[in-house]
Amino acid sequence: MRVMAQVAMVMNLDKCIGCHTCSVTCKQAWTNRAGVEYVWFNNVETRPGQGYPRTYQDQERWKGGWELKRGRLRLRSGGRFKRLAQIFSNPLLPTLSDYYEPWTYDYDTLISAPLGEHTPVAQPKSLITGKSMKIEWSANWDDDLAGGPELAPKDPILVKIRDKVTDRVKMEFEQAFMFYLPRICEHCLNPSCVAACPSGAMYKRAEDGIVLVDQDQCRGWRMCVSGCPYKKVYFNHKTGKAEKCTLCYPRIEVGLPTVCSETCVGRLRYIGLFLYDVDKVTAAAATENEHDLLDAQLDLLLDPNDPEVQAAARRDGIAEDWIEAAMASPVYKLAKVYKVALPLHPEYRTMPMVWYIPPLSPVVDALRETGNDAEDAGNLFGALDSLRIPIEYLAELFSAGDPAPVASSLRKLAAMRSYMRDVNLGRETQASIPESVGMTEESVYEMYRLLAIAKYEDRYVIPKAHAETARELEETACSLDGDGGPGQYEPGPFGSASGRPIPVAVETFHALKERQTSEVFVPLDSIRMNLRGWDGRGTHDES
């Protein structure tokens, strides 16, 4: 057994209102640059829908992730030789039109147009060609089932379960059942993008399991883009390098949650640690039956309260505060203790580390529309049994098509809802409700605390990068004080793609956290200043 730590996330889909705040703040923080205009490290999809990029879940077409061939794990896109043979032209690479053509508006016309009869209009201009364009697709074009009858049937999941459902139910499904799926990089335990990278530029960080691209080593072979079944590695067409969600590692390292979590309006995201056995990852990913993959993945996650696991973790160099954080981890509780959180598409065999609590609300809504008591445990359980279609659909997303884990998770949520109503109304609680889903009254109550009213500190249990190595995280020089003064945006001699990349300023995050959490006003000149992290408050000391 070799213990490693993994920073993981759980999203409670019941709470997602599809506001895209996570996407927008992530984009502002990470991909508001030329070359990645079309890139959303975080995007929110309406399900059923085609997703971003379009139909990315159709692995018959895109061949992302792993497959079992004669009992051995290999990339679905083929072996190493085949990949090298396709290096000059990757047949599985999505084109820009599979994402969308990014655009801006000709705002200048609004103020510079001559006086005329009609109000001037800001025309959309392509950010790729600079020419006027017709907007025909975007990262969330089918938001809220827009274009439903035309677009939603092309949802690869719907196509997959089509033969199981009749037309009548399908309509019912499209009308009654809709939910949002926020997606970031899964930071998989068995990442197929890393495996596909010919240059060895992609790697999984040993300390926290974050999957990153070494920008100095990436040579732009594009195999990671097609290798990832979630299509969460992107190609920066300006720099010619791959880019992806970094799990906001500069924030995680100082104990702050990611930008998408921090700004989530519904507070539906949880971040914490898993301790897992890295020696067993490949074997788990090579589990024969797809329906057993979820259990195999859960088996990888070690119990941080087990003294043996703790001893092994210490032996493998995991610091004490990290073990403590693992013990308090909300994601461990949701995924392994309560078993309400499920991984997205375990059948891709990448062992994804962003987990989802499937949404119960659509079931409750459907029940309420029929005039029944939608909070009653019996009614909810009955609805879960009869509403097969949503469960089939969710099962295709979260448990490789096996309805049992999804149904079990939803029954727990239903039990919690029903049990807590009695508590809130001051009625006698019914121990039979938790028992019917294999839980105790205490554990249901704890789960309720975690899902409904957990505070910031309970939702985000993120240990800082280990104290002994903390010094190493700090930059040894401010990027402004190089020879010749502020030269941070000076391009290299080979265009904007060349020269040294700008280092991420960790101290800025420290500083901003201090400002955000401090009761008194902290003037900026009292902390180390970096203009890139300036939040617009206070003044920058010019001397």
238 or 515: whose CB is closer to other proteins? 238
As measured in angstroms, the least distance from the Cβ of 455 to other proteins is 29
274 or 381: whose CB is closer to other proteins? 274
As measured in angstroms, the least distance from the Cβ of 215 to other proteins is 6
Cα–Cα dist 257/261, whole Å: 6
As measured in angstroms, the least distance from the Cβ of 54 to other proteins is 15
As measured in angstroms, the least distance from the Cβ of 37 to other proteins is 12
As measured in angstroms, the least distance from the Cβ of 487 to other proteins is 12
**H-state helical runs in 211-319:** 223-227, 249-252, 259-262, 281-285, 293-300, 307-315
Q: Distance between terminal CA atoms of the chain? A: 56
455 or 471: whose CB is closer to other proteins? 471
473 or 522: whose CB is closer to other proteins? 473
Q: How many residues does the chain have?
A: 543
223 or 377: whose CB is closer to other proteins? 223
Cα dihedral angle (418, 424, 426, 431), rounded to 10 degrees?
A: 40
207 or 376: whose CB is closer to other proteins? 207
192 or 418: whose CB is closer to other proteins? 192
167 or 472: whose CB is closer to other proteins? 472
Cα–Cα dist 243/234, whole Å: 5
Torsion over CA: 419, 422, 426, 429 (sign)? negative
Q: CB pairs under 8 A, 24+ apart, for 438-441?
A: 439/338, 439/412, 439/415
What does the block give as tokens for 448?
A: 């309720």
As measured in angstroms, the least distance from the Cβ of 187 to other proteins is 12
As measured in angstroms, the least distance from the Cβ of 51 to other proteins is 18
As measured in angstroms, the least distance from the Cβ of 204 to other proteins is 5
As measured in angstroms, the least distance from the Cβ of 374 to other proteins is 46
What does the block give as tokens for 309?
A: 């696991």
As measured in angstroms, the least distance from the Cβ of 24 to other proteins is 23
24 or 128: whose CB is closer to other proteins? 128
Cα–Cα dist 222/434, whole Å: 49
495 or 523: whose CB is closer to other proteins? 495
- β-pairing, 354-357 vs 3-12, is parallel
As measured in angstroms, the least distance from the Cβ of 356 to other proteins is 24
Cα–Cα dist 76/346, whole Å: 14
With b for 16 or more beta-carbon neighbours within 10 A and e for fewer, the 404-431 pattern comes to ebbbbbbbbbbbbbbbbbeeeeeeeeee
* CB burial of residue 127 (10 Å; 0-12, 13-18, 19+): middle
- How many angstroms separate the Cα of 82 from the Cα of each of 88, 227, 243? 12, 13, 24
40 or 381: whose CB is closer to other proteins? 40
* CB burial of residue 307 (10 Å; 0-12, 13-18, 19+): exposed
Torsion over CA: 516, 517, 523, 524 (sign)? negative
191 or 352: whose CB is closer to other proteins? 191
Give phi and psi for 402, each to the nearest 5.
-85, 115
Closest to 19 in 3D by CA, of 46, 47, 1, 40: 46
- 3-state DSSP call for residue 124? strand
Give phi and psi for 217, each to the nearest 5.
-105, -20
As measured in angstroms, the least distance from the Cβ of 535 to other proteins is 21
